[in-house]
């Protein structure tokens, strides 16, 4: 899904999605819930007060 498509689904500017991806923007509760709904995931899977581990490291740990 492109940034534009995701932005349209949650009714924000595509630039907002870029800010979220880089960690430069903290979403409102409403936006966080909309994004979680799009991905059918708990909000905690998308947002955390602590930085997430790098994806490469997480995948390596999962693969053992």
Q: What is the DSSP string of 1-58?
A: --HHHHHHHHTS-HHHHHHHHHT--PPPHHHHHHHHHHHTS-HHHH--SSPPPPHHHH
Domain 3-63 fold: 434 Repressor (Amino-terminal Domain) (1.10.260)
Residue whose structure tokens are 């909000």: 43
Asked if 16 contacts 7 with a C-beta cutoff of 8 angstroms, the reply is yes
Q: Residue 17: pLDDT above 90?
A: yes
Q: Residue 55: pLDDT above 80?
A: no
Indicate whether this model's pTM tops 0.85. no
CA 6, CA 14: separation in Å to the nearest integer? Answer: 8
Q: Of 19-23, 31-35, 52-56, which has the strongest mean pLDDT? A: 31-35
Lowest average pLDDT, out of 21-30, 36-45, 49-58, goes to: 49-58
């Amino acid at each position: 899904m492109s940034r534009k498509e995701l932005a349209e689904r949650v009714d924000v500017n595509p630039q907002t999605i870029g800010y979220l991806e880089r960690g430069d923007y903290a979403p409102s509760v409403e936006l966080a819930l909309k994004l979680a709904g799009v991905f059918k995931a708990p909000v905690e899977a998308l947002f955390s007060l602590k930085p997430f581990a790098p994806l490469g490291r997480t995948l390596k740990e999962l693969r053992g």
